[in-house]
């Protein structure tokens, strides 16, 4: 998962990533429980990308993960050697055995999601449950050691893809990474003194809140700001303005932290 406590942009030139030989990721223990769903998505999250607007993301489209040419690296089943005709391939259509994860396939492809910041999280959750029902290691206890290993790797990768794409902040940072913007710890772009002063005042008001109504008022305002930021980040990504998108994601991080503090404050009144 990308670090979000502080962000720094490091210029990089990431070449087009081609599909390489499939590589099994390390075994990871996972939980199939859902993280808390966002409460501040804009209303158009439930719409399929570009169905009506016919707009497209214009972000170095010739250099991104989502655009590789799968014909350049046709994969075969490790068991029966028959070709796998889609990417990613979780199972062989011929012998039905589980396949190892494919390196460098984007999380959007793994979860069969549109490449959009305002993706449909309900569709994402549905796909997550579907894949975990198929790939969870409990289904392969009677299979070969190789299949058990691959099922654990696939299940862990699906879990990581799901948790990354579920939340707007981690989703947006991941999209910037796919576009060649490497995110590291450091200073926060967009965190100017006026913005930080505003955050300080909000935090002070929340600390001084004496009733659930006062805390809820701050939470409602924060959710509105998060919804506005979602719209602005989506617009910036569509224009290919990665620097603006990163600055807005930084603001989103701070407001998301306030939203969590509001939840903690409300728990104190219970």
Q: Where residue 220 sits, what CATH number does that domain have?
A: 1.20.1280.20
Whether 132 and 85 map to the same domain: the answer is: yes
pLDDT (0 to 100) of residue 185? 57
pLDDT (0 to 100) of residue 191? 66
Instruction: Give the domain-ending residue among 183, 210, 237.
Output: 183
- What is the total count of domains within the chain? 2
In a domain, 3, yes or no: no
Which structure tokens are listed for 258?
Answer: 């306030």
Whether 179 and 259 map to the same domain: the answer is: no
- Per residue in 40-88, pLDDT tens? 544 444 333 333 333 334 444 434 444 433 333 458 999 999 999 888 9
Q: Mean of the pLDDT values across residues 86-115?
A: 94
C-alpha to C-alpha distance for 200 and 5, rounded to whole angstroms: 17
Whether 121 and 195 map to the same domain: the answer is: no
More confidently predicted of 189 and 200:
200
How many CA atoms within 13 Å lie on the side-chain side of 38?
Answer: 32
Instruction: Give the domain-ending residue among 164, 183, 202.
Output: 183
Domain range for 125: 8-183
Q: Mean of the pLDDT values across residues 139-164?
A: 96
Quick count: other Cβ atoms within 10 Å of Cβ 48?
A: 11
C-alpha to C-alpha distance for 19 and 210, rounded to whole angstroms: 56
Give the three-class secondary structure for 208.
helix
- Per residue in 191-237, pLDDT tens? 688 888 999 999 999 999 999 999 999 999 999 999 999 999 999 99
More confidently predicted of 74 and 34:
74
Lowest-confidence segment of 99-103, 158-162, 164-168 by average pLDDT? 99-103
Instruction: Give the domain-ending residue among 151, 168, 183.
Output: 183
Model confidence band, residue 160 (pLDDT cutoffs 50, 70, 90) = very high
Q: 């989703």: which residue's tokens?
A: 171
Q: 């009733």: which residue's tokens?
A: 211
Whether 108 and 195 map to the same domain: the answer is: no
- pLDDT(125) > 90: yes
- pLDDT(26) > 50: no
More confidently predicted of 17 and 89:
89
- pLDDT(5) > 60: no
Run of H or E residues at 205: helix 193-208
What does the mean pLDDT of the chain come to? 78
pLDDT (0 to 100) of residue 39? 42
C-alpha to C-alpha distance for 57 and 59, rounded to whole angstroms: 6
In a domain, 223, yes or no: yes
Whether 96 and 226 map to the same domain: the answer is: no
CATH of the domain at 147: 1.10.287.110
Whether 194 and 229 map to the same domain: the answer is: yes
Lowest-confidence segment of 34-38, 85-89, 241-245 by average pLDDT? 34-38
pLDDT (0 to 100) of residue 186? 53
Q: Mean of the pLDDT values across residues 178-183?
A: 84
C-alpha to C-alpha distance for 57 and 236, rounded to whole angstroms: 9
Run of H or E residues at 231: helix 212-239
Q: Mean of the pLDDT values across residues 25-29?
A: 36
Output the pTM of the full model: 0.72
Whether 164 and 209 map to the same domain: the answer is: no
């Amino acid at each position: 998962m990308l670090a979000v406590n502080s962000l720094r942009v490091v210029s990089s030139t990431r070449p087009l990533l081609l599909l390489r030989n499939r590589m099994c990721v390390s075994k990871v223990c996972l939980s199939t429980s859902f993280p808390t769903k966002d409460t501040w998505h804009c209303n158009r999250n439930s719409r399929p990308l570009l169905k009506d607007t016919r707009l497209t993301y214009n972000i170095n489209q010739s250099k991104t993960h989502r655009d590789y040419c799968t014909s350049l690296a046709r994969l075969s089943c490790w068991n029966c050697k028959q070709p796998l005709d889609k990417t990613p391939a979780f199972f062989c259509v011929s012998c039905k055995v589980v396949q190892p994860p494919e390196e460098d396939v984007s999380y959007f492809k793994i979860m069969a999601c549109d490449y959009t910041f305002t993706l449909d999280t309900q569709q994402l959750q549905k796909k997550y449950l579907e894949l975990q029902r198929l790939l969870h290691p409990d289904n392969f206890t009677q299979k070969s050691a190789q299949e058990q290993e691959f099922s654990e790797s696939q299940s862990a990768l699906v879990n990581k893809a799901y948790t990354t794409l579920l939340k707007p902040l981690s989703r947006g940072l991941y999209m910037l990474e796919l576009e060649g913007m490497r995110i590291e710890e450091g200073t926060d772009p967009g965190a100017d003194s006026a913005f930080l002063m505003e955050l300080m005042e909000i935090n002070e008001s929340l600390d001084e809140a004496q009733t659930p109504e006062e805390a809820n008022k701050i939470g409602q305002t924060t959710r509105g700001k998060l919804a506005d930021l979602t719209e602005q980040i989506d617009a910036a990504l569509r224009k290919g303005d990665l620097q603006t998108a990163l600055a807005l994601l930084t603001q989103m991080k701070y407001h998301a932290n306030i939203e969590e503090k509001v939840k903690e404050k409300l728990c104190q009144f219970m």
